[in-house]
């Protein structure tokens, strides 16, 4: 038994070391990765803290932050979220799925995320002002995850993503993998550490009839021929996320022991991106009986608080959110409504709404 425990801790240390050795953020490569929809947090609950809770995230939303957190689902969980992305642009993001406990320690999860751009004007070199109708850009990813409780303190998981992006007559398909681990300790399990490696996968490229064009060829008699243009391959937006969290229990029960009735969780995460600036994520969550939860978050990166061209993101930093979760039977099943808002300039922010059932 001691040998098994040692192996687990050595594995955790190796995982941390490998993460530290990953390439740090590189803004000179910004725009060179594709599948940017993989970087959008579609879940209302943890986006209110900018996903800074990767060390203690739980349930289906952990597929985005740290897949190890899906191992907390011991029975069944179902969730639906809708996000108005950069409100005013007509872009919407829908996500839904479930997690299901298997036995005493394992959990599987299936999640779908779909982005629809709304109508975009068709333009050409001859008609740059449009008038030719509209088209839509759509992107989907399907997440299939497996997580396991290796002990009372260590949780691990893996998530496989099937990715599809398309416009009329052109599409790209790919696959990527996430892996994550969480470690919880302390007398009341109030200290948390999480590490996740996200969006590992081979390059993607666009294919389809939309890349073909007609050319006039002069060889004897003039004739037309179809030429297929090759699309350059693009890389996945790989990243490493390292998070920590600490729960503060602010009341005591009748015996003098700490009570979890009033909880304040302090969250922080560092995110090293391969194709843009590194991010620092901070978050606070207050929970009353795990029924009413209020959140605030802060997203920072180089130049975010400066004006003009120094700021390389539409986001200005703050976020906030709330959850109302109520039990509805003797089995402690709950139903919850989540909301979050992320501040932007320009546009009118990002609104996310979520509905969740835990059975």
Tens-binned pLDDT, residue by residue, of the chain (359 aa): 444 454 455 455 545 544 444 445 566 666 677 888 999 999 999 999 999 999 999 999 999 999 999 999 999 999 999 999 999 888 999 999 999 999 899 999 999 999 998 888 888 888 888 888 888 999 999 999 999 999 999 999 999 999 999 988 899 999 999 999 999 999 889 999 999 999 999 999 988 888 777 776 666 566 676 777 778 888 999 999 999 999 999 988 877 788 889 999 999 999 998 888 899 999 999 999 999 999 999 999 988 988 777 788 899 999 999 999 999 988 889 999 999 999 999 899 999 999 999 99
Query: What is the model's pLDDT at position 166?
Result: 92
Please name which of 300, 269, 297 lies closest in space to residue 283, comparing C-alpha atoms: 297
Query: What is the model's pLDDT at position 97?
Result: 97
Query: What is the model's pLDDT at position 22?
Result: 46
Residue 100 has φ and ψ, to the nearest 5°, of -140, 125
Query: What is the model's pLDDT at position 225?
Result: 67
For the chain, the domains span: 2-358
In order, the DSSP letters of 142-196 are EEEEEEEE-SSSEEEEEEEEEEEEEETTEEEEEEEEEEEEEEEESTTS-EEEEEE
Q: Sign of the C-alpha dihedral, residues 211, 161, 298, 353?
A: positive
Residues 34 and 166: their CA atoms lie apart, in Å, by 12
Looking up tokens 């539409």, which residue turns up?
314
Query: What is the model's pLDDT at position 306?
Result: 81
C-alpha 218: how far from chain center: 53
Query: What is the model's pLDDT at position 28?
Result: 64
Query: What is the model's pLDDT at position 123?
Result: 87
Residues contacting residue 304 through CB under 8 Å, at least 6 positions apart: 311, 312, 313, 315, 316, 317
Query: What is the model's pLDDT at position 25?
Result: 55
**How many other CB atoms are there within 10 angstroms of residue 171's CB atom?**
14
Burial annotation 234-251 (CB, 10 A radius, 16+ → b, else e): bbbbbbbbbbbbebeeee
Please name which of 6, 10, 3, 41 lies closest in space to residue 297, comparing C-alpha atoms: 41
Please name which of 256, 170, 244 lies closest in space to residue 206, comparing C-alpha atoms: 170
Residues 286 and 159: their CA atoms lie apart, in Å, by 29
Query: What is the model's pLDDT at position 50?
Result: 96
113 near 80, Cβ under 8 Å? Answer: no
Which of the listed CATH numbers 1.25.40.390, 2.40.160.40, 3.30.465.10, 1.20.120.530 matches domain 2-358?
A: 2.40.160.40
Residues contacting residue 351 through CB under 8 Å, at least 6 positions apart: 83, 84, 87, 339, 340, 341
Please name which of 351, 295, 303, 302 lies closest in space to residue 324, comparing C-alpha atoms: 295
């Amino acid at each position: 038994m001691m040998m098994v425990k040692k192996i687990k801790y050595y594995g955790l240390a190796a995982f941390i070391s490998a993460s530290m050795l990953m390439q740090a953020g590189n803004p000179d490569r910004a725009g060179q990765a594709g599948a940017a929809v993989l970087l959008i947090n579609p879940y209302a609950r943890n986006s209110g803290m900018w996903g800074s809770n990767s060390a203690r995230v739980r349930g289906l939303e952990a597929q985005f932050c740290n897949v190890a957190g899906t191992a907390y689902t011991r029975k069944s969980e179902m969730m639906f979220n809708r996000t108005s992305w950069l409100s005013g642009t007509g872009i919407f993001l829908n996500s839904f799925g479930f997690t299901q406990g298997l036995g005493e320690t394992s959990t599987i999860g299936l999640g779908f995320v779909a982005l629809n751009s709304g109508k975009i004007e068709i333009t050409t070199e001859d008609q740059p002002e449009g008038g030719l109708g509209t088209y839509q850009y759509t992107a989907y990813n399907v997440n299939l995850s497996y997580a396991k409780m290796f002990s009372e303190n260590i949780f691990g998981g893996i998530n496989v993503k099937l990715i599809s992006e398309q416009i009329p007559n052109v599409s790209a398909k790919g696959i990527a993998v996430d892996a994550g681990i969480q470690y919880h300790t302390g007398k009341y399990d109030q200290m948390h550490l999480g590490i996740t490696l996200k969006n590992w996968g081979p390059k993607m490229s666009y294919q389809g009839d939309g890349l073909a064009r007609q050319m006039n060829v002069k060889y004897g008699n003039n004739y037309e021929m179809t030429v297929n243009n090759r699309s350059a391959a693009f890389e996945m937006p790989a990243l490493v996320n390292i998070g920590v969290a600490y729960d503060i229990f602010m009341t005591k029960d009748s015996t003098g022991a700490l009570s979890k009735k009033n909880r304040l969780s302090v969250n922080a995460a560092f995110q090293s991106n391969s194709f843009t600036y590194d991010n620092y994520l901070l978050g606070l969550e207050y929970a009353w009986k795990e029924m009413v939860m209020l959140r605030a978050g802060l997203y920072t990166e180089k130049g975010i608080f400066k004006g003009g061209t120094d700021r390389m993101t539409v986001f200005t930093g703050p976020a906030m959110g709330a959850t109302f979760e109520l039990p509805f039977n003797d089995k402690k099943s709950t139903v919850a409504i989540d909301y979050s808002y992320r501040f932007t300039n320009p546009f009118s922010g990002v609104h996310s709404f979520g509905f969740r059932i835990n059975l």
